[in-house]
Amino acid sequence: MKYIDEFRNVNITKKIIEIINKEIKTPINIMEVCGTHTMSIYKNGIDKLLPSNINLISGPGCPVCVTDINYIDSAIKLCKNKNVIICTFGDMIRVPGSKSSLNNEKVNGANIKVVYSPLDCLDIANKNTDKEVVFLGIGFETTAPVIGLTIKYAYESNISNFSILTSIKTMPNAMKNLVLDEEVFIDGFICPGHVGSIIGINEFDKLAFKYKIPMVMSGFEHGDIACSILHLCRLIQVKDYRCENLYKRIVKKEGNKIAKNIIEEVFSIDDSYWRGLGKITDTGLKIKEKYKKFDAQIKFNLHLSKVEIDRSCICSEILKGIKNPEDCKLFKVKCTPQNPVGACMVSREGTCSNFYKYK
Ligand code: SF4
């Protein structure tokens, strides 16, 4: 299939890796921001084929991994209300909160449904008019349009028993925060192609220029990733501070205007709490005043409280690339994909989960 087969061609990928091994001799730290890139790198063994001077760091782009513990606790509090049906994407159900997880609560009888789209929640709300249906709206710019669309449909259909507990995050300012963090050493970014398909290249390009850090927008096949690493190393070596779009088959310079319009109509920029990274200015989306009756935090008067986290879990350092999972004393001992302690072990995209499976 055109645009897929050439990026899955093992011989082409091997040749690109050979060029990297011959050409790139200086130490280079590359952060792949997106969890899907992390998964592809480890699944395809790309990390093992690169020279040791190229250090791949997995960034905070797995939506489940960066969902704040307070958010999970709020969802758990809501699901204890017999009048509430919680709807969520599948990965969220196993994420540990401070004392429990949605999975534990489901086993104990909470009404929790896994959905594939927030739009499914409107059907559930229409069929359960005696209940309140709450969707757990997490993710990045990628999931924001369909969540926004669901809110618009609910508004236009005057559905009153539906709301969303939002924790949607935005990526460019989070990357800026990492660049400015003195503990973090990154020479270049592999940018999240899914986010790029919505917001385009421009924001990343401005960031690259302003903070003097080269970037490439990459697809997710092994050929995409090998090509992105080679190209990014070349940009780093010649100090070319821009975001090069290597995922043109999906990512347009201006992004997806329809999706961007929905985001702009329904959400405004807000600060956001990132698991392991804390509060980061202007990295979240909150529901605008016009649609606030669909904001579960307002509807159920939920207040975030400070919670104690398991200090042995080093997800925060892993999400910044300061440490790797093997530095965690719980890794493979107390923390496994079957019994995750921290969020990085929960999702297939999480760094700890990928180290567990493929390293
Ligand atoms: Fe946290 Fe588990 Fe990863 Fe350790 S192995 S950092 S406990 S998720």
Q: Which residues contact 70 (CB under 8 A, 6 or more apart)?
A: 273, 304, 305, 307
Give the bridge partners for 166, in sequence order.
137
Q: State pLDDT tens for residues 341-353.
A: 887 888 888 899 9
| pLDDT of the residue at 309 | 61
Q: What is the rounded CA–CA span in Å between residue 178 and residue 320?
A: 7
**For range 280-308, the mean pLDDT:** 89
- How far is 284 from 271, CA to CA, in rounded Å? 5
> How far is 296 from 322, CA to CA, in rounded Å?
35
146, with CB counted inside 10 A (0-12, 13-18, 19+), is middle
Atom of ligand 1 at shortest range from CA of 317: 6
pLDDT tens per residue across span 7-38:
999 999 999 999 999 999 999 999 999 989 99
Read off the pLDDT of residues 91-113 as tens digits, 9 standing for 90 and up. 899 888 888 999 999 999 999 99
Task: Using pLDDT thresholds of 50, 70 and 90, give the confidence band for residue 304.
Answer: low
Ligand 1 atom closest to residue 312's alpha carbon, by position in its atom list: 7
Mean of the per-residue pLDDT values of the chain:
93
Higher-scoring residue by pLDDT: 158, 274: 158
End-to-end CA separation in angstroms for the chain: 31
From the CB of residue 156, how many other CB atoms can be counted at a distance below 10 Å? 8
- Average pLDDT for 40-62: 93
Say what the pLDDT of residue 319 is. 81
| pLDDT for res 310 | 65
- Model confidence pLDDT, tens digit, residues 160-198: 999 999 999 999 999 999 999 998 899 999 999 999 999
In angstroms, how far is CA 150 from the centroid of its own chain? 20
Q: Residue 315 — very low, low, confident or very high, per pLDDT cuts 50/70/90?
A: confident
Which residues are CB-contacts of 128 (< 8 A; sequence separation ≥ 6)? 85, 161
Ligand 1 pocket, mutate which of 67, 72, 277, 314 (most atoms under 8 A from CB)? 314
303 vs 227, higher pLDDT: 227
Nearest-atom index, ligand 1, CA of 346: 8
Lowest model confidence (mean pLDDT) among 56-65, 139-148, 208-217: 56-65
Share of the chain above pLDDT 90, in %: 78
Q: Please tell me whether the overall predicted TM-score, pTM, comes out greater than 0.75 for this model.
A: yes
328 CA from centroid of ligand 1 (Å): 6
